[in-house]
A and B are shown apart, each in its own frame.
Chain A
Amino acid sequence: MYMVLYLFRLHVEHVFLFSLLIYPPSLLNFAVNILNSSETKISLSSKSGGKVHNSVVGGDWGKGEKGDKIANGGKVPVVKAPLPLEFKIEHELPENAKCLMDCEAAEILQGIQEQMVILSEDPAIKIPISFDRGLQYAKRGSHYTSPHSVRRVLDALKQHNVSDGEVSMIANVGPESVEEVFALVPSLKGKKSKLREPLKDALDQLAKLKHST
């Protein structure tokens, strides 16, 4: 068991070092920090009495001594991620921020791209990469034929205290069932009984507005 853990650790470190070549350490440190948080602890139930080599540069992977102590101390509990109670993104943005569905953003960015075609003939003007990627992402996430109709259908849910962010997320996901909505937007679970019927109606109407595949 000790050899297995030792070999596992070495292998992980090699892959991590490989990743360092491509992605900067600061980003991978962040990734490791998230993984080491209570939501994603790895269960190391075996007690490793042997030494674990610690040759990794930087990051929490490098805290071999602590890892040994944790392993020696017993189980690291695997804690299931607590569900986010509220998807209140509006608090983090300026008050004038309007949440856009992907289909609405695709419409706006498409219009801008048509103007940019003229501008792009000027070699001094460079179209940013984030614009192309943003437009591609918006088009891919756009499931509906008419953004205005989608907005009209989903705005009806706001009467039931569904926030703008939650409405946009429902539109972006393109759910096929009410259960899918509650699973993907857990902040709505608190109002499950009140929202079930309005959501079902909204999804039925959205199904008619989806692109035919």
Chain B
Amino acid sequence: MFFHIVLERNMQLHPRHFGRDLRDKLVAKLMKDVEGTCSGRHGFVVAITGIESVGKGLIRDGTGFVTFPVKYQCVVFRPFKGEISEAVVTMVNKMGFFAEAGPVQIFVSNHLIPDDMEFQSGDIPNYTTSDGSVKIQKDSEVRLKIIGTRVDATEIFCIGTIKDDFLGVISDPGATS
């Protein structure tokens, strides 16, 4: 789920950047340092939307670097347990399938796939119902519920299920009539 939040960060700037473009350089450095990162509390910082304030700079003793406290607004993406998400399948194997929802990876185990769907190996591995009417394969869109999340240094990984009501395949790239 997306959120719009205000975060604060202390930005260090080398004296060579001081001058009339100081603020622009500070903002550019902030974007470079922050956009695309991931934290456990806020999730992925997808984009910075604005700068709220730039505080007074503090010269660090012994170096010459100056630290500026910067408050900025940004759009973050963070998955939550219990959230319903529409993801695109990236890989299917006998253990289950992996899907992507935005920058987040979600794994759905075969134990959390409806019992009437079975794994079919082959050139295009997939899960298919016994009558062949529903198929989950690479690039299928599925609606799933997130039942667990874990944050690493640079990414968030989730576990999902499609075993509940109103969950499952939304669209199948190889659908045949």
Contact = CB atoms under 8 A, between A and B. Distances in A.
Tell me whether A and B are bound partners.
Answer: yes
Given A94-B6, A98-B5, A140-B86, A27 B150 contact: yes
Interface stretch (A48-56, A167-175, A193-201): A167-175
Contacts of B36: 128-131
Contact of B5 (A26, A96, A137, A186): A96
Contact of A31 (B4, B145, B159): B159
B147 A172 contact: no
Given A134-B77, A137-B101, A19 B49 contact: no
Question: Interface of chain B, helix or strand or loop or mixed?
Answer: strand
Interface string A122-151: 000100111101111110110000000000
A129 B47 CA distance: 11
Interface in B70-127: 75, 77-78, 80-86, 91, 93-95, 98, 100-103, 105, 107, 109, 111-112
B2 A100 contact: yes
A183 B32 CA distance: 41
Question: Interface of chain A, helix or strand or loop or mixed?
Answer: helix
Given A27-B150, A89-B1, A130-B103, A15 B6 contact: no
Say which size band chain A's interface belongs to. Answer: 35 or more
Contact of A134 (B44, B159, B161, B167): B44
A2 interface: no
A89 B109 contact: no
29 contacts: A12-B94, A12-B95, A15-B93, A16-B95, A19-B93, A27-B105, A30-B150, A34-B148, A35-B109, A84-B81, A92-B41, A93-B42, A94-B7, A97-B3, A100-B1, A100-B75, A104-B2, A109-B47, A130-B36, A130-B44, A130-B103, A131-B47, A134-B46, A165-B80, A172-B85, A172-B86, A173-B84, A184-B84, A185-B84
